[in-house]
Structure 1
Amino acid sequence: MMPLLASAQDAVDCRTEATQRIGAPVVNLRIDNDTFGGRDQDQGYSNGLQVTLVSPNLVDYTDDPCLPSIARRLNRYMDALYADAFEQQNMVVTLGHAIYTPTDPVPVALIEDDRPYAGALLVGLGYNARHGDRLRTSLLRVGVVGPAALGGKVQSEWHRIVDADRFRGWDNQLRNEPVFQYIHERMRRWPGSASRDRGVWDAIGHAGFSVGNFATYANTGIEFRLGLRLPDDFGSTPVRPAGENTAPRIVFDNRWNGHLFVTSDARWVLRDITLDGNTFRDSHSVDKRAFVADVGYGVAVTRGRWKLAFARYHRTREFERQRERPVYGSFTIGRQF
């Protein structure tokens, strides 16, 4: 998180105010892979990697010394994305890479009845605003889909290292296209006293939408958690683009704590470039299904400033004639500084 500090003087000012702040900077690393879902699952959403930086609680998005000067200047033009006057405000930076492939790795020719090959590389800038047991988050992601995202090269090199089958149809992948996505979600946690009592169970509901040529949809869902001294955050399931942007925890505990979780998310999808194909050029595409749902379950462990989570997700079929329902896993490691 040190690169977020603009200068030595800013670092001193930030540390001077630290005792008056809630939360601390967070770094999360998330790895998604369908091989975590079981044998013969190297298909669909095949692999994902995302690094997320969450700032400490900010007094102001444009003048706070805990943000570098370039971020403060940028935030003067991004005021439509964030809200002021909340008890906790955080800025979020993400860098993510994703790979999508059909089921059969062998054919070099186009597989017309299966999803397109696609790689995506996106950077994101988001804002959290927390008030008690409510959180709102807005995230703007921009990037590229196509050969420039290096999906084929990344997958081929990884499969060479682990001695896995090489996918041979990357010449049929989506063409280069700049993409953007604006995401907004609202979250609510029950019971309302959980942030103070740290009880043995809670439920976290979410609802939101996404707009952009990368993906356009409306979504809603809920997560249930059961365990020992639940963390004071907004969930353990980061696979939604807005799901990983939860505000830093307020309460730390140097003991080992753990909980189980079950989560769901349902989406009404109007556009998904990885299924619908390129927006402005001819490309391979499939007939996507309008309604898609995920159900996931897993375990999360926290100790002090560290948090580990592993989950397995089952998704409904995303397009017509899809052979199998997607199953994949996700591993996240995070630390507050």
Structure 2
Amino acid sequence: MCVAKSSAHFCGEQKNAKKDEYQALLDEALKCTAKNPNQSNVCACANDSSAFGLDKAQKDDLQEYLPKKDLDTKAQQSDSTYKQNEVIPSPNTRAKHTLLLIYENDSNFDPHIDKYYTAGISLKFYSKDLQKPTNKGFYTFMHAISAPTFFPKALSRYLGEEADFATSFGVSLSQEMYAPKDRFSNPPPKSDHPYGGFLYTSIMLQNRFKYILEQFEVALGIVGKAALAKQAQDTIHEARNVKKLAGWDTQLQNEGIFNLYYRASFSIPQVYEKSKHIVDIMPQVSFAAGNAKSHAQANLIARVGYNLSANSLMPHINSGFVSTLPNRYGFSIEGYVGLGIRAVVRNIFLQGNSFSPRKDIEIYNGVGEFIFGVSLNYKRFFLSYSAITRTKEFVSQDMPTTFGSILLGVSF
């Protein structure tokens, strides 16, 4: 039986703990609090700054896990019950909004290559986790429309989760650019990759348990000249003093895009917990359906590092790997590798527009992806680099595609 620690007992353990152990102690106390709300007194300890051998930044991070409202009052009422409509924060939540800038380019991996998926750029906003009083309209709405789809709370608790799932959302504005191998012929060979641009915005809803991550995303955009890919690529080439591509007037025709995505990722608790958050093994599945991309993908990711968040991988623009931001605060660093197998139904950037498809390119219905990279999180700041290789996607393709993805981010 879990018994909530008293303020004095918890603080006493905390004072004698190493700095990198305060997270585990807090997690344990919060789980007890969730089971025994009438003995909730963790706030009293967190509010007593003298109890911690921590610096100011670590204390601030610790406070993010705790209710910010009426801390002093709750500290004095250590044996009182939380208000009925108040959700106790889970240790697996993010308490800050985050803004990310992602830039992908094949030249980020090899400066001598410029073909197929040649570049992508995205500005992404991730909300903090919305674990708030459930009688407030917006949070109730978010919880309702993003309730777990295939993996209900019963499964999450079977894997060891004690608290309710946390809901968050993301909004992004992105652009992707595609070009043939023969960049300076106009028109390029019919068997080569078509020119294409994709400009779109997307809205993503996310449920995070301790060991399960679930995402649902809607993307709305346009392909063709209206996507402004030629102008964007010309700007990049001018800045790098590189020759411009010749055949952009042969690109895909303008077509509105509506695409849906569902993704799920799992951390194996026996690995993650027993390794003291140093190793994380993540099986994943992802699905896309729409007039731009339709496919299903299965992945396996292995991560090794310090202070790992379960089920996190720095986001990308154009891959089938399931990704989200870490939710453990302070300092973390990691390296990761992963494999993915994709079953492809449709790819507008190879097969052409929906109502005027290309007959000259035969796609492969089975495609593989490989990823490796490193990422760093220090307080509010994020930095990552990863390289993603995709096997041949069409029969006349001369070699696999590899591109580098660079991410910069800040939480606020």
Q: TM-score category by the smaller chain?
A: 0.7 to 0.9
1:241 Cα deviation from its structure 2 partner? 6.0
Once the two structures are overlaid, the 10-residue window that deviates more, 177-186 or 274-283, is 274-283
| Letter aligned with residue 251 of structure 2 | Q
Give the number of equivalent residue pairs: 315
Alignment correspondent of 2:200: 122
Cα separation, partners in 2 of 1:315 and 1:64, compared to 1, 3 Å: farther
1:233 Cα deviation from its structure 2 partner? 4.6
Q: Deviations over 1:46-78 (max 9, x none)?
A: 0001121111111479985888xxxx98x69x9
1:29-178 to 2 correspondences below 5 Å: 29-59=101-131, 79=145, 86-178=164-256
TM-score, normalised with respect to structure 1: 0.83
More strand by share: 1
Does the 8 Å CA contact 1:175/1:283 hold for their aligned counterparts? no
Q: Deviations over 1:302-324 (max 9, x none)?
A: 11122211011221101011112
Does the 8 Å CA contact 1:204/1:235 hold for their aligned counterparts? no
Distance, in Å, in 2 between the alignment partners of 1:27 and 1:17 is 29
Cα separation, partners in 2 of 1:40 and 1:240, compared to 1, 3 Å: closer
Alignment partner of 1:317 is 2:395? no
1:1-337 to 2 correspondences below 5 Å: 22-23=93-94, 24-59=96-131, 79=145, 86-192=164-270, 194=272, 198-236=276-314, 238-239=316-317, 243=321, 246=324, 248-253=325-330, 255=331, 257-281=332-356, 286-337=361-412
TM-score, normalised with respect to structure 2: 0.69
Secondary structure of 1:171's aligned partner: helix
Distance, in Å, in 1 between the alignment partners of 2:165 and 2:172 is 23
Once the two structures are overlaid, the 10-residue window that deviates more, 133-142 or 16-25, is 16-25
Cα separation, partners in 2 of 1:33 and 1:15, compared to 1, 3 Å: farther
1:284 Cα deviation from its structure 2 partner? 7.3
Once the two structures are overlaid, the 10-residue window that deviates more, 103-112 or 237-246, is 237-246
| Letter aligned with residue 170 of structure 2 | V
Cα separation, partners in 2 of 1:63 and 1:151, compared to 1, 3 Å: farther
Distance, in Å, in 2 between the alignment partners of 1:242 and 1:104 is 27
Alignment correspondent of 1:5: none
Once the two structures are overlaid, the 10-residue window that deviates more, 50-59 or 216-225, is 50-59
Distance, in Å, in 1 between the alignment partners of 2:249 and 2:267 is 46
More helix by share: 2
1:205 Cα deviation from its structure 2 partner? 1.5
Alignment correspondent of 1:4: none
Q: Deviations over 1:162-182 (max 9, x none)?
A: 111210100100000001110
1:192 Cα deviation from its structure 2 partner? 4.9
Cα separation, partners in 2 of 1:63 and 1:48, compared to 1, 3 Å: farther
Q: Indicate the percent of aligned positions where both proteins have the same amino acid.
A: 22
Cα separation, partners in 2 of 1:240 and 1:98, compared to 1, 3 Å: closer
Distance, in Å, in 2 between the alignment partners of 1:324 and 1:17 is 61
Does the 8 Å CA contact 2:320/2:340 hold for their aligned counterparts? no
Secondary structure of 1:157's aligned partner: helix
Cα separation, partners in 2 of 1:203 and 1:187, compared to 1, 3 Å: same
Distance, in Å, in 2 between the alignment partners of 1:198 and 1:58 is 27
Cα separation, partners in 2 of 1:328 and 1:250, compared to 1, 3 Å: closer
Does the 8 Å CA contact 2:351/2:357 hold for their aligned counterparts? no
1:197 Cα deviation from its structure 2 partner? 7.2
Does the 8 Å CA contact 1:120/1:145 hold for their aligned counterparts? yes
Once the two structures are overlaid, the 10-residue window that deviates more, 52-61 or 213-222, is 52-61
Secondary structure of 2:206's aligned partner: strand
Once the two structures are overlaid, the 10-residue window that deviates more, 155-164 or 52-61, is 52-61
Does the 8 Å CA contact 1:300/1:307 hold for their aligned counterparts? yes
Distance, in Å, in 2 between the alignment partners of 1:90 and 1:242 is 20
| Letter aligned with residue 331 of structure 1 | I
Distance, in Å, in 2 between the alignment partners of 1:56 and 1:17 is 21
Distance, in Å, in 1 between the alignment partners of 2:411 and 2:171 is 15
Q: CA RMSD in A?
A: 3.0
1:250 Cα deviation from its structure 2 partner? 3.4
Unaligned 5+ runs, structure 2? 1-66, 72-86, 154-163
